[in-house]
Amino acid sequence: MQNFKNSRLFGYFILGAMVLFFYALFKVLSPTNFGSPANLYSYFQSSIIYSVGGCGLYFIVVMGLFDFAVGSNIVLSSIIGVILSEKFGYLGFVVGCLGCGTLIGILIGFLYNKLNVPSMIVTVGLMLVFESLAVFVAGGVKQTLAPELRFFSGAPGNIILAALAFALMWFILNYTRIGTYCNAIGSNEFTAKNMGIDVKKYKLIGFALLHFFVGIMAILTVSYGTTMTALTGMSTMSRNFQPLMGTFFGVAFRKYGTPISAIVIGEFIIAIIFNGFVALGAPTTIQNVVTGAALLIIVTLTARGKRGSVVK
């Protein structure tokens, strides 16, 4: 029984049970407006953007780092991508988003290593810079993706792109040193150093990978919405949190060896809850309260430390 409780199968079992629970709950409360197969497909499509971001964030959160510049990078990268798409079509769009995203990740990682201050402070500072930069690059104009470049705005384009992102993360975690070393650094940085791991290098790689995934998020975000407007005053901050919720699921289910599935299914659960409240006609504030509470309950039930253990 103890072995089963630590197994991958048990992880999937809990995730599946949570999906069924929330689905059943809202289906009972709102049988007509919620939960048809078409609705579920729609919830899934809306969740995969955040799942992609959650996968990227996993690389740094597992090392004990945070990044509040994700939202500002989504805005900046998508604006750059759209601008480049006007000249180079899909190539400009994809390379613009991914290239800008990754370069920003490298810059954050570099500054974090050089400044030697907490990642939260570095990324909050840079978020303000990137927001202003986005306004400057966009020239104060709303950027619109050309209709002929919207392959990723819906199925199958968005699902193919997200699936490629998930596959990439699975490959990195299981078949490269990066996954092992990120986990090792998060577990004990001093020991990791003594094992010959270049901690600074892998933190920089972690930030670069995160923002490569943010670049993919930028492609999906602007494809879904078709336009992107640059705003200042920390308005991009709210974009950080939904991917982070998926990452919490991933970190929580790491012990079962199922972080990617947990991120994807976790974001799907959050989408079910959001849409469940929409179906019930609940005001947005109530939706946010209940979604936040649901996240806390889920993570508490699945990932809390042993009784008496110190949690920071």
Partner 1 sequence: MSNDKILLKAEHIDKRFGITHAVNDVSITINAGETRALIGENGSGKSTFCQMLCGIYSIGGGTFTLDGQEMHVKNQVEANKLGVSIIVQEMGTLSGLTVAENIFLGHEDPFMHYGIKDTHAMIKEGQRLLDEYGFNNIRAGAMIDSYNFEDRKLVEIVKATYMKPKILIVDETTTALSQNGRLELYKIMDAVRADGRSVIFISHDLREILEHCDTISILRDGEYIDTVNSKDVNEDDLKRLMVGREIGSAYYRTDYGKPISDEVVLSVKNVSVYGQIEDVNFDLHRGEILGFGGLSECGMHEIGKAIFGASWGRKGTVTLADGTNIDDIPSAIKHSIAYASKDRDNESIILNESIRNNVVLPSLDDLAEKHILKSGKLNKFAQEYADKMQTKMQSIHQFISDLSGGNKQKVVLARWLGKGSDILVLDSPTRGIDVKVKQAIYALMSELTAQGKSIIMISEEIPELLGMSDRIFIMKDGKINGTFNRSETLSEEDLIAKMV
Least distance in angstroms from the C-beta of 61 to partner 1 = 12
Should residue 211 be labelled a site residue for partner 1 when binding is judged by CB under 8 A? no
Q: One-letter amino acid identity for 244? A: L
Should residue 176 be labelled a site residue for partner 1 when binding is judged by CB under 8 A? yes
- Dihedral sign of CA atoms 177, 180, 183, 186 in order: negative
In terms of CB distance, is 87 or 307 closer to partner 1?
A: 307
Q: How many residues bind partner 1 (CB under 8 A)?
A: 25
Should residue 227 be labelled a site residue for partner 1 when binding is judged by CB under 8 A? no
Select from 99, 125, 157, 257 the one that contacts partner 1 (CB under 8 A).
257
Give the span between the Cα atoms of 74 and 12, in whole angstroms: 31
Which residues ranging from 34 to 73 are in contact with partner 1 (CB under 8 A)?
A: 62
Residue with tokens 């497909």: 41
- The token duo for 112 is 């974090």
Q: Are 222 and 239 in contact (CB under 8 A)?
A: no
Should residue 13 be labelled a site residue for partner 1 when binding is judged by CB under 8 A? no
In terms of CB distance, is 7 or 46 closer to partner 1?
A: 7
Least distance in angstroms from the C-beta of 216 to partner 1 = 21
Should residue 300 be labelled a site residue for partner 1 when binding is judged by CB under 8 A? no
Residue with tokens 């003594």: 194
Give the span between the Cα atoms of 43 and 143, in whole angstroms: 26
Select from 32, 116, 194, 238 the one that contacts partner 1 (CB under 8 A).
194
Q: Which stretch binds partner 1 (CB under 8 A): 135-143, 176-184, 207-215, 278-286?
A: 176-184
Please measure the distance between the N-terminal and C-terminal CA atoms of the chain and give it in whole angstroms: 30
Q: What is the DSSP string of 41-82?
A: HHHHHHHHHHHHHHHHHHHHHTTT---S-HHHHHHHHHHHHH
Burial of 139 (C-beta count, 10 Å sphere; 0-12/13-18/19+): exposed
Should residue 157 be labelled a site residue for partner 1 when binding is judged by CB under 8 A? no
In terms of CB distance, is 187 or 300 closer to partner 1?
A: 187
- The token duo for 283 is 């005001």
Select from 203, 211, 239, 254 the one that contacts partner 1 (CB under 8 A).
254
Helix (H) or strand (E) holding 217: helix 199-225
Q: Which stretch binds partner 1 (CB under 8 A): 70-78, 130-138, 184-192, 211-219?
A: 184-192
Should residue 27 be labelled a site residue for partner 1 when binding is judged by CB under 8 A? no
Least distance in angstroms from the C-beta of 296 to partner 1 = 21
Residue with tokens 């197969």: 37
Should residue 210 be labelled a site residue for partner 1 when binding is judged by CB under 8 A? no
Select from 195, 296, 297, 301 the one that contacts partner 1 (CB under 8 A).
195
Phi-psi region of 145 (alpha: psi -120 to 50; beta: other; left: phi over 0): beta
Q: Are 19 and 272 in contact (CB under 8 A)?
A: yes
Q: Which residues bind partner 1 (CB under 8 A)?
A: 3, 6, 62, 174-177, 180, 183-184, 186-188, 191-197, 254-255, 257, 307-308
